[in-house]
Amino acid sequence: MEKVKAKKQFGQNFLKDSSVLAKIIQAIPKQTTPDFGGRVVEIGPGLGDLTSWLLNAGFELTSYEIDGELVPKLQAKFKNELEGARFKLIHKDANLAWQEQGSLLDKPYMIVANLPYYVATKMVLNALKDDLCVGVIAMVQKEVALKFTCKGGESEFSSLGVLAHLNGLAKLLFDVAPECFEPTPKVVSSVFQISKTQKLIAQDGVFDSLSEYEKFQSFLKVCFGSPRKTLFKNLSSRVDKNLLSDIFLKLNLSATIRPHESNVALYLEIYKLIRKDNERKQRDKIK
């Protein structure tokens, strides 16, 4: 493939280090529940380096590429794989596909990608609420990877960490130096993994509806609104202080606890207790 200049508007940094590519392939789990059947979705294949490794490893690959200049080059490079139906290349913004379709595939699949930094957070959040996506192995800037993988008690723990651990496990795999890319980014990158262990939105899932999940996301924004303030102080901007005091007492929480010092289970419990009180108030109004 002829040399292509990376486009800033698409956040392109082409990974060129074969040892990093090998480590990404090795990190893909052999089995998941539900079984992803060897189906992998790659977002932003770029020059096709990771694409080649994924195809050589035997995965059934679908790649979403937003850059119209790269699509014909990828079609030429992977002509045989495209004709053999082992590879499907879609010229579309993956986030738009999620918005329109709800999922990037119609069967369980795994995301393996070097995500464009400017939309990486949004893409991972879309993957989290897509129940057909059973897991993610993604390269992003290290700062973003830490936000998704840190757990309660760690200083980097954030609302993104809560969301990533709601229905599975998230962990940092390894760092990638700037010189592994062309052009060279100004930040260190990291590869991280999210493995889902149960459905997020379903009758037997963490939340029974998308609406409830979105309310929980809004609740987390309040909780982490001012990370240096106490969790009680942040919540008291939206929730009655007397109710909060009762909830903190019931859960044996200190009023001085800060947002990063809590954990996923406690955030769910606080949210459920606030929701329960709101539902009671709604019933009282009807009466």
Is residue 284 marked as binding?
Answer: no
DSSP 162-207: HHHHSSEEEEEEEEE-GGGEESPPSS-EEEEEEEE-S-SBSTTSSB
Q: How many CA atoms lie within 13 A of 277 on its CB side?
A: 13
* Residue 65 is labelled as binding a ligand: yes
Q: Angle formed by the axes of helices 142-149 and 120-129, to 10°?
A: 30
Q: Which two structure tokens, joined as six digits, stand for 55?
A: 């195809």
205-225: burial string, b at 16+ Cβ within 10 Å, e else: bbbeeeeebebbeebbebbbe
Per-residue buried b or exposed e for 229-268, using 16+ beta carbons within 10 Å of the residue's own CB: ebbbbbbbeebeeeebeebbeeeebeeeebbbbbbbebbb
44 is in an annotated binding site: yes
Any binding-site annotation on 56?
no
On whether 13 is known to bind a ligand per the annotation, the reply is yes
Does 278 belong to an annotated binding site?
no
Distance CA 70, CA 5 (A): 10
- Interior angle at CA 271, CA 270 and CA 275, nearest 5: 120
- Whole-angstrom CA distances from 6 to 46, 69, 70, 116 are 9, 11, 10, 11
**Do 231 and 247 meet the contact criterion of CB atoms below 8 Å apart?**
no
C-alpha–C-alpha distance, residues 89 and 69, integer Å: 13
With a CB cutoff of 8 Å and minimum separation 6, the contacts of 83 are none
Tell me which residue of 62, 168, 47, 166 sits closest to 112, measured CA to CA.
62
Annotated binding site for S-adenosyl-L-methionine: 13, 15, 44, 65, 93, 114
For the annotated binding site, the residues are 13, 15, 44, 65, 93, 114
